[in-house]
Structure 1
């Protein structure tokens, strides 16, 4: 802040260095015209904008009046910055660095500094728009949002230029909303008094822990436009997890599916987003890419590739709107089973960290004839949840094995895991299949729409594997790698242990889960529970080898 005097109305401030001084009139003079000099003034009492480490920044508002008095009518020093951050200025530089940063630390995420820059010189190294601009800085003098200095007229909506070095008193309003993570900046003549209704500059501010996730984050504005404001006509489906909307990204014109999720209160948004982004790094030919996320208040929006033909459950037991869906033949079904299975050893064993899917089911498999099926999910659904998860809330790779067992039975039988029986009781698919196995009539459970056109050996293998994976005793479960070996014929499947009891009754006797909700579950398998667990969004598992 060189070669210029800056006058600001006195508040609860404290000059720290340079030539900053409070004049007898009550005005604060930051600099006195000395070249290559920076001065700083801070609030007398530190303001804590975080309730605790790791939490988001609280909403805040600030306003100040300033005037830049240049030595010449058309020439001044660089400018002035309103900042939020630590008051350590030992290494800062003047001139284009505005007494805020230096050439070594400019752009570092560890700076933890936010600034509103009123700059009267264009610095091309920081991509300044011109020599009379107002910008928002976060950890860097290369701004996240910039605008020529001026204001919007509330009556006409017209934009009016304001010259920063006019020497006249002007007012700045800075507002940060923690819910939308948006910073809004207004600027105008002091004589007008009122804050303009249209912000001069606004931007969505990412907190420091989000910087590493930057490429994966979408703006809420883009997703709002993509889905036409989340209108019902763009709604693809909904369940206990939230709603899914079809959208078209405004710039790329890419078709996407946008899922709106309320994250669990027991998991911080930081950890929640970190998990989402970790899963977004998954690369496997049987997995659809998670494109990114957006957070807004207590809501998280997940963005996936869009598949036009809908989910697998519509082909297995579609409603009236899905009667035109062609029934899948056995070759397609077996390919789907193998495809879904093939992605899980990668997430359980081969990825950089263990990732549990937690909700493998037909309604989470997106299917398109001639293309690989793909899955998405958010929380586990009762009827598919492993007994130890329903009881303890703890997950492991075997949690997916249990759900996969139910999934196999769904695909082979064309029935939901829990259905309404004729006598108003609830029919558990696994018990129904087990009963037919005990009667040595296993092929009678195969989907009648196949009309006997299937490979009996593959069908029996699939059904036995479904029973093995959905057994109520975890000790009976194979790993997903073993499952793949069974499906590929690389290893013979063990014989099932005979039992005179249903799996659900055996589970209750062993205190293993199948809790009362499962036994009285509604026939709609998309009904998610309130079981508390961290969100594990595996993007997609697709068709076989």
Structure 2
């Protein structure tokens, strides 16, 4: 009488809630009131863990209250619907223990049930007995010959024993193509199962699908069977598992159940996460981006080092102890490099016999300068020449353009002087300029304008040509002092230009080998358009 009264109270509570048939849903198990035994437990984040990877024992989890499965008046089994999300994780990826099952039984905990191949449902003596009154849907991961299993990855409907009434390889039918898609139960992937019994049609349907893919239209298993003789009036619903010798963890993430109705769908986003298996999965950013970033940083570092080395080599200078005494007369190559914008062609003022002249502006003083680049492949005489350059730099005269200093870099030598605003803005080489007039037969055009007309043309021509001969690049080709006197006294005629073996470009002229004169104004040094005075230009440095 007390038991019947409890059932009546339960029915009244259901009716008061607006539904005469019981049902429940667990979106995770953080606050679940299930009855657990054996190895079953709840994890901290709300998973129902039926078994773990430590012992070969059963694990059971049952809804605590009995549920009425049969009509009192006619004894027919009610329809029911259930769905759950599960995952199976074996210790070894390809070797798993026995599986798990959704179960409807007359008692909680299934007393006397054995582990391993019995899945915690039956034992050696009662397996297959009609008196068990047990219905189960197994997710089996071991092929057991004594139960006529079809493979080691199948779904089966069991009634009172583990020889399944019907079974099929784990998978689902694609709604678009109708093809059977295989699933691996021990993949540690979340999957969802639907079990539906139609009491009117006496039909059981079981479906399996990947997580979040939805219930397939075509069920994996369909069995015509009246469960009225299997069920007692009141039954318990839950889960059973036993891993066997190959230790395996069986998880349930969510569970929904309903009598005479459709089981409520889950809020999938609220279901708990499975524990991480193995090393943490690296994101694409870390897996791909991090190596690329590392390689990029390494390349950037190498490029930076190469750039610094090249920059150091680019600005490398020759500095010997004897030059220290000249102090401010020496310029840094880097300063001249930036002053002339890297000796850019747009800053070129002119080309002389042994070098090119560039316009520049010193960054620190904003002084406008002319920089002559000349070559000196031999170190012989370098010290004496630098001393001479520095000495000239100390000279001050209104008719001399001051020589500011010099710079040495490997085999290059650079001479620096200011560009005076009273002179035209374009520059050229003095010796080449004079030679240009001789080469065109108009050497008198190179005269100093200050002479006016007070000169003897023959004597002026003699002096200009003799000066060019004395500036020849080859010392042996220069006239001796005796010859100079003979030329001046007209005891000996000057050689003709064609007899000197001099290039018409004038490139053989210099005051000494490898060093030619400095610069004077005008970019077209081969013509007579120059109007500046020789006295206003820098000394050529010749003897």
TM-score (structure 1 length as normaliser): 0.36
Structure having greater relative contact order (Cα 8 Å, sep ≥ 6): 2
TM-score (structure 2 length as normaliser): 0.36
